[in-house]
Amino acid sequence: MNALMMLWPLVMGSAVTMALIHLSNWLHDRKLLEHLLLAVAAGSVAAFGVIELLMMRTTDIPLYLRLHLAGHVASLSYLLSVVWFARLYLGHRGVVVPVLLSLARMVVLLLEAVLPYGVNFREIKALSPVEFLGVPMMLPEVVPWSLSRAAEASALFCGFYVIALALLAWRAGRHRRACVAAASVGLLVLFAMANSILIHTGTLRIPYMLSFAFLCVIAPMGLDMSAAVARAAALGRQLRARELEREELRREVEHIARVSTMGQLSASIAHELNQPLAAILTNAQAGRRLLLEPEPRVAEVVSILDDIVADDKRAGDVIRRLRAMVEKRHTVEVESIPVHELVADAERLAQGLIARSGIAVSLDLDPRQPCIRAGRVEMQQALLNLLLNAIEALGGNPEGKRRLSVRTELEGSTVRIRVRDNGPGIPADAFGEIFRPFFTTKPRGLGMGLPICRTICEAHGGTLNAANHPDGGAEFVIAMPSAPPA
Amino acid sequence: MAEAHPIVMVVDDDDSFRRSLARLLLSHGLEAWLFESAEALAGCGVFPEYGCMVLDVRMPGLDGLALQEKLGRGGFNLPIIFLTGHGDIPMSVRAMKHGASDFLTKPVDEAVLMGAIHKALADQSHAGGIRARVKSLTHREHEVMCHVIAGELNKQIAARLDITEKTVKVHRARAMEKMGVGSLAELVRACAVAGVDPAGKP
């Protein structure tokens, strides 16, 4: 086999590879239309290569003409995809010229299909064997006509259009892309046009070798696009790393806020732990004495031991809740949680403080017991924060007039948790500020509570909003998408 | 004198702790009346003649200190032992100023608690005895005694009550005798225990 004949399979292989690469890029992200166009162009080149090879072997004129028509179809899809690709690649917005060029090429294809010997030839007299660069092949003996120049001009204009876009891109400072496009299209214009015109005019009897030129046009741009994909991937990795870093920081801040919330609750928690411990001690001392009596009261001692067990569990629960809140966690465990459980747990943690502050709490929980998908500890933190804010806001109310209500409701596919107090409400001048980090109205506040609550809710696809209730006091509303129960 | 059967009133909002304290008191042969809140105690109406109260400071509703002050205004005279999860100095000062018998923190050791209860009961029975003696005084004797413990001289008392100095001396001697004391200092102390108001009306 001759070295020349090795070129076609090489070109087709490269074209198919390129088409697959860009197709997969496009499938990966459907917004990357330029990759799709490039894939079509490369696919057309491969088809062109096949057609060219078949044409060299044909001895039958009608078959030769059908292959010529097929070549025009491939060239239409090639030129159109290159024109539209160049428009995207070089960042041009105009559509008039590419539309006109597309229409022109379609007319050319129509003529090719309608005319007896196609658009390029007046007549093909015969197919006769010729040796080209040492390879024997069948080539046509043609009668040329000038209509062929119009067809060639339409292809030439496609090339000019790309070069014009390259000039504009150069002016806009996109030098690399402009050079790549202009140089590669320049090759096409020189080589492909020379090749076609020589055949169409019957000047030289040589085979079509357009697929080489076509590949030369798109290969540099394709390589540049692939480099862009690689750059984008690297950028994506960097971004992801940043994102992870930010996520880590966010969790860190959330943890600090949780620990500080628990600090605020420490007296309340100490009280909760102290009660069962005191009861256990007293029970144990009483039990010891009852057993030492001349007639030990065993039944009483049994009930003492039952109480001790229950109190021990009570203390254990307090510690477990506390530990869950202060433990440092590296991942958020998202699960389906019934909101009434969240409310009850948060209320328990704040119970000591609520009792000491003389606040009447009313819980109005939706009997359908809706669930949300979220991190349990995080949501509890958010809810607890809202409760603590409300408790603090109620400090100015006279004793006996401090009310706090927590309400859960399911409306459509949204679960709402409303935390409302009858305190002074949110001052008008602070309204836009309360969710801003470091904004605080408290003398020792960090200003991180509400922003963190909002971030937590938003991280789980929900929202947190504040309003002053028409009947007085502030109302904070967490709205989350509802989830099926676990 | 004091009844043989003292009652310990326990006011605490924690069910389990209340029960445990009742058992401990039972093991020491003491009867306990249990109340879950100040409001529940107010609903009780009848107070024992002889006994004491173990009172939690931190309770929902009316807290222990407020209850102590309210009871004090109502003439309640049983000794009160405070028992709290975490007491601070202002809290204990306030309690002691209003006449608390003791101020203990939870969890409390049996010996400490029972010591405080027995001391309170002893004080109460002592005070009860003295109060019985005070009750045995005539109106005039009581009146004179009040002026005496306020530090007035016989002559001043005579002038104030518009009686002779000699009569004052007789009433004073009678009062000293009935109160079972031998000196003015002892009389003052006994009156303090029984809560007699100096220069007050009998």
Residues A56, B114: Cα–Cα separation, whole Å: 117
pLDDT at A444: 65
Contact B16 A279 (CB under 8 A): yes
pLDDT at A277: 93
Mean pLDDT of A108-124: 90
Give the minimum alpha-carbon distance from B89 to chain A in angstroms, rounded to a whole number: 16
Residue bearing the bigger pLDDT, A251 or A95: A95
Is B26 an 8 Å CB contact of chain A? yes
Which residue type is seen at A229?
V
Residues A387, B5: Cα–Cα separation, whole Å: 48
Give the minimum alpha-carbon distance from A397 to chain B in angstroms, rounded to a whole number: 15
Mean pLDDT of B19-31: 92
Contact predicate A254/A378, CB 8 Å: yes
Domains of chain B: which residue ranges?
7-133, 136-194
B148: left (phi over 0), alpha (psi -120 to 50) or beta: alpha
Mean pLDDT of B124-145: 85
CB nearest B107 (choices: A267, A278, A355): A278
Give the β-pairing of A463-468 and A360-364: unpaired
Does the structure show a pLDDT above 90 at A255? no
User: Among residues A446, A382, A449, A388, which one has the least CA distance to residue A421?
Assistant: A388
Does the structure show a pLDDT above 70 at A113? yes
Is B23 an 8 Å CB contact of chain A? yes
A236: left (phi over 0), alpha (psi -120 to 50) or beta: alpha
Contact A355 B60 (CB under 8 A): yes
The DSSP string of A146-192 is THHHHHHHHHHHHHHHHHHHHHHHHHTT-HHHHHHHHHHHHHHHHHH
Contact A287 B23 (CB under 8 A): yes
Element (H, E) at A308: helix A298-326
Does the structure show a pLDDT above 80 at B200? no
CB nearest B16 (choices: A287, A311, A355): A311
Q: Which residue of B has its CA nearest to A271?
A: B85
Is B42 an 8 Å CB contact of chain A? no
Among A1-15, A69-83, A382-396, whose mean pLDDT is lowest?
A: A1-15
CB nearest A275 (choices: B21, B24, B85): B85
A267 Cβ partners below 8 Å, 6+ apart? A352, A353, A356, B86
Q: Which residue of B has its CA nearest to A294?
A: B27
Supply A430's token pair: 């602070």
Does the structure show a pLDDT above 80 at B1? no
Residues A190, A150: Cα–Cα separation, whole Å: 17
Is A326 an 8 Å CB contact of chain B? no
Q: What angle do CA B52, B57, B62 make, to 5 degrees?
A: 100
pLDDT at A443: 67
Is A281 an 8 Å CB contact of chain B? yes
Contact A275 B16 (CB under 8 A): yes
CA end-to-end distance (rounded Å), chain B:
20
pLDDT at A214: 80
Does the structure show a pLDDT above 70 at B4? no
Summarised one tens digit per residue, pLDDT across range A261-282 is 887 777 778 878 888 999 999 9
Give the mean pLDDT of chain B: 86
Q: Is A464 helix (H, G, I), strand (E, B) or coil?
A: strand
Summarised one tens digit per residue, pLDDT across range A375-419 is 888 888 899 889 988 988 888 888 778 899 999 999 889 999 999
On the question of a common fold for B7-133 and B136-194, the answer reads no
CB nearest B86 (choices: A267, A279, A314): A267
Mutate to test the interface with A, among B20, B37, B67, B91 (most CBs of A within 10 A): B20
Contact predicate B99/B77, CB 8 Å: no
Contact A282 B85 (CB under 8 A): no
Residue bearing the bigger pLDDT, A301 or A451: A301
Backbone torsions φ then ψ of A463, nearest 5 degrees:
-135, 160
Q: Which residue of A has its CA nearest to B60?
A: A355
Is B70 an 8 Å CB contact of chain A? no
Spell out the CATH class of B7-133: alpha beta
For residue B103, the Cα-to-chain-centroid distance in whole angstroms is 15
Look up residue B182 and give its DSSP letter.
S
Strands of the sheet with B51-56, listed across from one edge: B31-35, B7-11, B51-56, B80-84, B102-105
Backbone torsions φ then ψ of A283, nearest 5 degrees:
-60, -45
Contact A286 B16 (CB under 8 A): no
Mutate to test the interface with B, among A266, A282, A305 (most CBs of B within 10 A): A282
Give the mean pLDDT of chain A: 86
Is A272 an 8 Å CB contact of chain B? no
Which residue type is seen at B199?
A
Is B110 an 8 Å CB contact of chain A? yes
Among A50-54, A107-111, A150-154, A330-334, whose mean pLDDT is lowest?
A: A330-334
Does the structure show a pLDDT above 50 at A437? yes
CB nearest A279 (choices: B20, B86, B110): B20
Give the minimum alpha-carbon distance from A427 to chain B in angstroms, rounded to a whole number: 30
Assess if CATH 1.10.10.10 describes domain B136-194: yes
The DSSP string of A103-133 is HHHHHHHHHHHHSTTTTTEEEEEEEEEEEET
In chain A, which residues have their Cβ closer than 8 Å to the Cβ of B28? 289
Residues B189, B177: Cα–Cα separation, whole Å: 15
Q: Which residue of A has its CA nearest to B112?
A: A282
Summarised one tens digit per residue, pLDDT across range B63-95 is 888 888 888 887 787 899 999 877 788 888 989
Percentage above 90 pLDDT, chain A = 24
